């Protein structure tokens, strides 16, 4: 149903911090879409795809683009926040 933000996994098992953040965002978005589908069963695939596209655009603009531009400034803080929740 939803297209992941991230490309296919790299050949090497070690991910960069931006790739790890990207994968985590995919997991969170997929989980939220599944939860939304359960809570609102009247939503069809088209509506869920619209929500998915919107969430992915927000993630790209607010998290991933800045992380790609200045990885050292943002990523450590984001991963620290992830560990405290």
Residue 20 binned pLDDT confidence (cut-offs 50, 70, 90): confident
76 in a structural domain? yes
- Residue 43 structural domain: 17-84
pTM score of the predicted model: 0.71
Structural domains counted in the chain: 1
9 in a structural domain? no
Contact 67, 74 (CB under 8 A): yes
2 in a structural domain? no
7 in a structural domain? no
User: What is the distance between the alpha carbons of residues 60 and 67, in angstroms, rounded to a whole number?
Assistant: 9
21 in a structural domain? yes
pLDDT in tens, 21-54: 889 899 999 999 999 999 999 999 999 999 999 9
5 in a structural domain? no
């Amino acid at each position: 149903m939803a297209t992941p933000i991230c490309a296919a996994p790299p050949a090497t098992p070690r991910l960069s911090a931006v790739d790890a953040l990207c994968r985590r965002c995919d997991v969170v978005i997929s989980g939220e879409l599944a939860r939304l589908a359960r809570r609102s069963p009247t939503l069809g695939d088209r509506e869920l795809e619209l929500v998915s596209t919107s969430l992915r655009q927000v993630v790209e603009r607010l998290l991933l683009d800045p992380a790609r531009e200045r990885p050292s400034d943002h990523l450590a803080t984001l991963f620290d926040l992830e560990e405290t929740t």
